């Protein structure tokens, strides 16, 4: 199946052999592998464990090759391997793909992070991509403040294994692993239990970010509509920055709706026991998407209101400038007329001519000031 743009989504992609994966690493190595640098000797493997009946079989990490071999030897089918990666390099991912028989297109997506949330099927392998997002605490919202930090979480699910890949620090999976290991009855349901826990953790971060973004919106709204002059503190650049961060947050959250709808459907390969868990995640995601939509509408209203206030403030400034220009024009007109020095000008022969003219100028200025003040221009 393909979406309206022609990209495969929720469909089955015919399996390719992994022989060309190593040759492909030259091409992948020329692009950016993720937030972490490709340092020589740095391993992207965070943890690897073999689970049987939901219980970890060793206290520390094991070699993923030995763990996968042991899982496949288990005739009961109740064992699986969970390999956790953090921004693996192209060369390292090529070796892992060879062992786990991963499709080369999935390898390319893993190495080059930045995909939208999606669900792809490669015959006996399922590839789930999540965009992680978390709220960044800041003391003051300004035009350069980072409000939402985004990253990537990818899951490769096979018959006896699950590979989790993280890019960025927006979402770490260490707590997810510890939480699942404390619930062996859930973990014994296999790799899809890991997929549920990771998805639930990502969506929980969405919910937390949405709640804290609401506080920022309330603060901006209070400043804009304050009657005590606090609206001047809400600069348009701040509102634009918050809107940019909201757009980034929306791009991370909204596309996840389609993959979750597929996972909770009756035709999904997810076990029936786990579908109710995914439905709970879907409910949280739907509520967050609705919040984001309302936040976006509110932010547009706040921006329009602030622009209207700026326009009113500019009009007020123009009226003040025009009022003072009118007062100055009165003084300039009087001084100009009596400064022409014609022979028959009255002040030439008046002893008190200048004081009288100055008095007329001051009196006229005071009258004009009171008129402008009463009309609200000053």
- Pair of tokens at residue 234: 């809400």
pLDDT for the residue 204? 95
Q: Point out the least confidently predicted range of 11-25, 90-104, 121-135.
A: 11-25
Those residues with Cβ within 8 angstroms of residue 199's Cβ, 6 or more apart along the chain or in another chain: 128, 130, 260, 278, 281
pLDDT for the residue 234? 57
Angle at 106 between CA 103 and CA 109, to 5 degrees: 155
pLDDT for the residue 141? 75
Those residues with Cβ within 8 angstroms of residue 365's Cβ, 6 or more apart along the chain or in another chain: 327, 330, 331
Number of neighbours of residue 18 by Cβ within 10 angstroms: 18
Binned at pLDDT 50, 70 and 90, residue 9 comes out as very low
pLDDT for the residue 100? 93
Burial 106-136, CB ≥16 within 10 A → b, else e: bbbbbbebebbbbbbbbeebbbbbbbbbbbe
pLDDT for the residue 60? 80
Q: Is the pLDDT of residue 2 over 60?
A: no
pLDDT for the residue 37? 41
pLDDT for the residue 115? 86
- In this predicted model, what pLDDT tens digit does every residue of 138-178 receive, in sequence order? 877 777 778 899 999 999 999 899 999 999 988 989 999 99
Question: Which architecture does CATH list for 314-374?
Answer: Up-down Bundle (1.20)
pLDDT for the residue 80? 95
Q: Domain boundaries in the chain?
A: 21-310, 314-374
pLDDT for the residue 228? 61
Of 47 and 9, the one with more pLDDT: 47
The answer to whether residues 155 and 198 touch, using CB atoms and an 8 Å cutoff, is yes
Of 8 and 221, the one with more pLDDT: 221
Chain mean pLDDT for the chain: 82
Q: Is the pLDDT of residue 109 over 60?
A: yes
The structure's pTM equals: 0.74
Of 204 and 377, the one with more pLDDT: 204
State which H helix or E strand residue 28 sits in. Answer: helix 21-29
- In this predicted model, what pLDDT tens digit does every residue of 262-305 receive, in sequence order? 999 988 889 888 999 999 999 999 999 999 999 888 888 888 88
Q: Is the pLDDT of residue 211 over 70?
A: yes
Burial of 90 (0-12, 13-18, 19+ CB in 10 A): buried
- In this predicted model, what pLDDT tens digit does every residue of 304-361 receive, in sequence order? 888 887 787 778 888 888 888 888 888 888 888 777 777 776 666 677 777 877 888 8
Select from 1.10.10.10, 3.30.460.20, 3.40.50.150, 3.40.50.800 the CATH code of 21-310.
Answer: 3.30.460.20
The answer to whether domain 21-310 and domain 314-374 are alike in fold is: no
Q: Is the pLDDT of residue 248 over 80?
A: yes
- In this predicted model, what pLDDT tens digit does every residue of 20-76 receive, in sequence order? 434 433 333 433 333 344 444 567 899 999 999 999 998 888 899 999 999 999 988
């Amino acid at each position: 199946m393909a979406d309206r743009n022609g990209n495969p989504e929720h469909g089955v992609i015919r399996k390719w052999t992994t022989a060309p994966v190593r040759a492909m690493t030259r091409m992948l190595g020329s692009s950016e592998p993720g937030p972490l640098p490709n340092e020589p000797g740095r391993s992207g493997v965070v943890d690897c464990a073999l689970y049987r009946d939901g219980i970890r079989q060793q206290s520390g990490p094991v070699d993923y090759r030995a763990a996968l071999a042991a899982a496949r030897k288990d005739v009961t089918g109740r064992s699986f391997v969970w390999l956790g990666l953090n921004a693996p390099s192209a060369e390292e991912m090529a070796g892992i793909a060879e062992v786990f028989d991963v499709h080369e297109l999935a390898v390319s997506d893993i190495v080059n992070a930045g995909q939208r949330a999606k669900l792809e099927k490669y015959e006996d392998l399922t590839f789930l991509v999540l965009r992680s997002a978390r709220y960044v605490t800041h003391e003051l919202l300004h035009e350069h403040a980072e409000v939402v930090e985004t990253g990537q979480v990818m899951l490769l699910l096979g018959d006896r294994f699950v590979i989790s890949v993280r890019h960025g620090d927006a979402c770490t999976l260490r707590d997810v692993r510890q939480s699942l290991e404390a619930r062996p009855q859930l973990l014994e349901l296999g790799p899809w239990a890991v997929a549920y826990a990771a998805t639930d953790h990502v969506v929980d971060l969405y919910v937390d970010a949405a709640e804290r973004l609401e506080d920022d919106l309330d603060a901006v709204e209070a400043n804009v509509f304050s009657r005590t002059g606090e609206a001047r503190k809400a600069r348009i650049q701040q509102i634009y920055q918050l809107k940019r961060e909201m757009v980034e947050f929306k791009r991370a959250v909204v596309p996840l709706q389609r993959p979750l709808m597929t996972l909770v459907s009756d035709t999904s390969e997810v076990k029936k026991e786990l579908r109710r868990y995914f439905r709970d995640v879907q409910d949280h995601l739907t509520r967050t998407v609705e919040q984001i939509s309302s936040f976006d509408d509110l932010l547009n209203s706040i921006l329009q209101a602030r622009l209207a206030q700026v326009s009113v403030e500019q009009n007020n400034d123009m009226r003040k400038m025009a009022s003072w220009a009118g007062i100055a024009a009165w003084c300039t007109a009087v001084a100009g007329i009596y400064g022409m020095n014609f022979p028959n000008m009255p002040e030439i022969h008046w002893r008190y001519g200048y004081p009288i003219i100055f008095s007329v100028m001051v009196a006229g200025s005071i009258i004009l000031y009171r008129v402008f003040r009463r009309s609200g221009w000053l």
